[in-house]
Amino acid sequence: MTCGPAWLAELPDSPGERFAAATAGRCGLVVVPVTPRPFPLWLRAGTADAEAATASFDPELNGLKFVHEPRRILEIGAGAGFRSVALAHAYPGAEILATEPDAAFQRVALLNTSPYGNITVLNTVIGAENARYDFFGREGEAGQPALVRHEAGQLKATTLAQLLSYWRWRDVDTIILSPDIAALSVLAEPLPPRLRLLAVETRGAMLPAEHMAHLPMAEFLCAVSGDYTLFYRRALQKAVPELPRPRPVFLPDGTLQHLTLINVSDDPPGFFPLGREGFRLHPNPGGAPAARVVLSLHHQRSHLDFAELQVSMRVARPDSAAVRFKVEVRGEGGTVLSSGVEVVPGGKARGMVLQLPELEGACQVTFSTEMAERGASNLGAWAEFVSATLV
């Protein structure tokens, strides 16, 4: 049985030929399955996407060569996401954070990367602090839209330091940069101390001298490889101790964990996810047993090396009666390690911070809601745990 248009089944086997045949004489989005990739690629027929997608199947990514096993890759200028997907296949254990200022590219990049849980794509400009940019310029013989700095620009730049701080990526080991007028300012910023490779897409040319002057060349070995100028760090700076990365407790698209519902109604549903890491836990009527959600956490390390559990809660509707939220952390033996209670009026939000002791092995986190006043109606009591994060 053939899925999709019949002409897809007639495409050639090689990726380049498939992409060219699928987009020839067409315009608009085309989805092309390619063996042995588990997920197809989306291309915009009538653009250069077919060539870019073909280049991403090069065994060495068109000259992009690693002398280390990348763990955190920052890709500045992701285009339609073809390189991000290739990197995810080559290094499935790596996290990839990709930025793309052109919203048209970023929309296609989201289609291409959404099946991969280790890729995040942001529509943002990486550039000088407080600078504004937009696609007001033109470049090349074809006059393609080019990013320019302009006070009327709709795109406000984020600096490299701000991006890495917000995402807690100070230990990024690989940066791949497809230059535009904004991204080149990254070369004038201090590079992350754990950076192993800086790869600048220069189409086979050496990086211009004015940009080379910003780099501490005593620290790097430089080589031109295919489409890239590669800067390999000779020796790492002394590692700065890193705190563990924040970890959401409830993450439906994360690692599988055991979840137990207690006194939670099925109809209407008293529990369901909200956003990426939050959930609604509808309280039972006043005087009835509290509704509870229990999550069992198993740690990759031998101990729980987080200092606290930060919880955000709210009662979404202002006409609701007050709701009592409770969070409790227990060790493997059932010992209560930390707990907290907060009463939240209708339409209000509250935060809770639970201090955590050092813990060996696994633990359980119990979330519960109940009406604060005995006999109070739970009508419209939309009690929500917006987030719960170990930090």
Q: What pLDDT was estimated at residue 234?
A: 86
Ordered by where they begin, the domains of the chain are 1-55 (no CATH), 61-233 (3.40.50), 247-390 (2.60.120)
Look at the block and give the residue holding tokens 């890729």: 119
Tens digits of residue pLDDT in 263-306? 999 888 999 998 888 999 999 998 899 999 999 886 544 345 68
User: Smallest Cα–Cα separation from 271: which of 245, 292, 298?
Assistant: 292
Q: What pLDDT was estimated at residue 3?
A: 46
Q: How many CB atoms lie within 10 A of CB 74?
A: 25
Beta carbons of 322 and 383 less than 8 angstroms apart: no
Rounded to whole angstroms, the Cα distance separating 148 from 128 reads 12
What single-letter amino acid sits at 258? H
Q: What pLDDT was estimated at residue 269?
A: 92
pTM: 0.63
Q: What pLDDT was estimated at residue 301?
A: 42
Helix/strand/coil percentages in the chain, nearest 5: 15, 35, 50
DSSP state of 198: E
Q: What pLDDT was estimated at residue 1?
A: 34
Q: What pLDDT was estimated at residue 109?
A: 94
Q: What pLDDT was estimated at residue 60?
A: 64
**Low-confidence residues of the chain: pLDDT under 50:** 1-3, 300-303
Tens digits of residue pLDDT in 223-252? 998 889 999 998 775 555 555 678 889 988
